[in-house]
Structure 1
Amino acid sequence: MATAMPAAEHSRKILVAVIDAHPGHRQQVAAALTSFYQVAVYERFDQAMESLAGTPPCVVLLDEKALPRLGGDPIATARRLLKGVPIIRTLARPIQQLGSAAYDTDACLEKPYRRSTLIKTISGLVNKSVEAGWETLAPHYKESLRRTVDSFNNISDLIDKGEPLVYQEITEACGPLVDAVSNHDFKVILNGVKGHDNYSYVHSLRVATLLSLFGHTIGLKGDDLSLLASGGLLHDIGKMTIPHEVLNKPGRLDDGELQVMRSHVPKSVDYLQLCDSLPKGVLTIAAQHHEKLDGRGYPGGLKGSQLNELARMASIVDIFGALTDRRVYKEPMSPEDALTMMTERMGDEIDLALLALFRAMLLDAATPSA
């Protein structure tokens, strides 16, 4: 039997389908995933295929005990009905016992497995599927996406090793993005990361794109645009050290969790300062994008004239990005609603003159001629 999601959830895409004949394990897996994904659970394979064939999920988690004993090759059936959706097989015996059948699915997990292993496996397959779609794009779009995601992932490894980033590599990775922005040809890049499972990368790429577009609109060029794009891509790298359960928590953060979340700003600054060649502007974006004009921001409680134009621009773009991002626990706000909310409710926090320019920029970018 399939477990229906609440009515409010039907508007959101099911990301992970869990097919498992054991009710206890089925619910345990679903509970482990709901902080990260929308989940649908099924007891029977045939029921799952009937339900999912019309609206395929991003990943299927299939326990071998849920496979039908008769009726041909169920994995091949799933492949045909779900049109290439990645399948993770779970089993309560050594994977070696599967022999060549271990290659019928995209991944195998032997019970008991860690929650972190499950999430990492799902995320990797989702991103691999999305990134495979980039191969069909024009070369300059593909290069922009591929180089920025590779650089972003490489930073994670550098942080783990305590090694500084190489700023020139970041600017080179952002080069195709800056070119696209300068030519008003960036929408394909933003559409290319829809469905990507690395939220921090998606948000950072959107901020990099919109911040450099903002700069282009007010007349910045060359190295200045490169600085904005690089600053946008790097502004939240401290979040790479934040636990997933805090970063992706659906509800309101408690005081302790809020403190952990806010620590991403000083962590970003501390890491970026390891790079001797980093422009001051990139550090300003990372350090001040959560500051507010009324002094109620963090981490420094800066206000008014203490915030330069770069910090004010970054704050607007970051807030707009967060409101219009899709998260597991919320639908994205429309750009119009986000801009209205920012104008009507955040007048004490952000620079309304710059916000008006930002709104005009988005309206201009939305016109066919742009």
Structure 2
Amino acid sequence: MPMPINRSVRQTESSPAWSRRRLLRAAGATGAAALGAPLLAACSDSTGAAKGSPSTDHVRVALGWLKDVGFAGFFIADSAGYYAKENLTVEFEAGGPNTPDSTSLLANGQADIGVHANMQVLLQAIAKGNDFVTIGSGFQTNPGGLLSLASDPVREPRDLVGAKILAQQGSKPQVNALFKLAGLKPDYQFIPIGFDVEALVEKQGKVMTCYVTSEPIALESKYKMKKDKDYVAVTYESLGMPAYATIVYCKRSFLRQRRDVMERFMRATLRGWQENAKDPARAAHLVVEKYGADTGLELNREIRENQIQIPFMQSALTREKGMFRMDAKRLGGPMYAGLRAAGVKDLPDADRIVDNSVLDAVYHGRTHV
């Protein structure tokens, strides 16, 4: 997810750096079409949901982090009235330091829908007995990654051998997993830092763990560096450790009892994310001036982060079947392999926790869109 004001508190042993919501490349392709087809048609004021649901349903949504541009599509859907047109009022509960994890809020009945940035934490909550089901994933590529200077770049795991790695506390299992998955013996020096790129610029280490949609911006703005020419940013996925992020989920009982609510919520949400792709500045203004006005966010930074993250919402699957799609085989295959290499043992049945039926209904069902 987008970055907090105090980045040093984001990662713990249970919240590894590689599972953050920050991504790799500048948005070379923008516009709704970049997110893949099929796209939702614009809803009229008399949608099928509205005709059959005269009363308004209140939905509590627990976000995985502060109200920043990482939730762009949700805030656009709210501000543009897309939820209201689906007869929904949506209450967003922010996450962040010193706040309960969204999985706890759902488990305790304090929220109806969760949006989680950290796939590992969500999966482990399910493994502990919470009957959560995933509805979709906004980010098809996880934002965690590595940042290095172009003068001594890291582009593949073997470039890490013998390196000084600047990393956040709690990220060592993921660094070890990179070596393991590449068939390499872990050979590096771990140097704990926060998220300040100064240590990298001063060459205290060869590479730093980061959100590749965030820390590179500091290199660009403060040090006037250019991507590829002056610095290199790679995702963990490009290094062999894929993961989803910005995962929408709920209790299985909620989906069973209030499926229509979830379908209406996702239909409006998808419209919001489509609009976000057309104008990255729109959501940046919303979070700075309204939804995250009390968090001290910087407008230009939020715009830039939004530009960078938009392409990471697309994949071969979303280009074929639409945004937020999840592939149980991909989750249970290479994604679980990465988690296991990082020492995660208890993982739920991927086929059981991925439910595509809501998106099927939204894109192809009877409800008019």
User: Structure 2-normalised TM-score?
Assistant: 0.24
Between the two structures, name the one with larger relative contact order (CA 8 Å, sep ≥ 6): 2
Instruction: Report which of the two structures shows the higher radius of gyration computed on alpha carbons.
Output: 1
The structure with more strand, counted as a fraction of residues: 2
The structure with more helix, counted as a fraction of residues: 1
User: Structure 1-normalised TM-score?
Assistant: 0.24
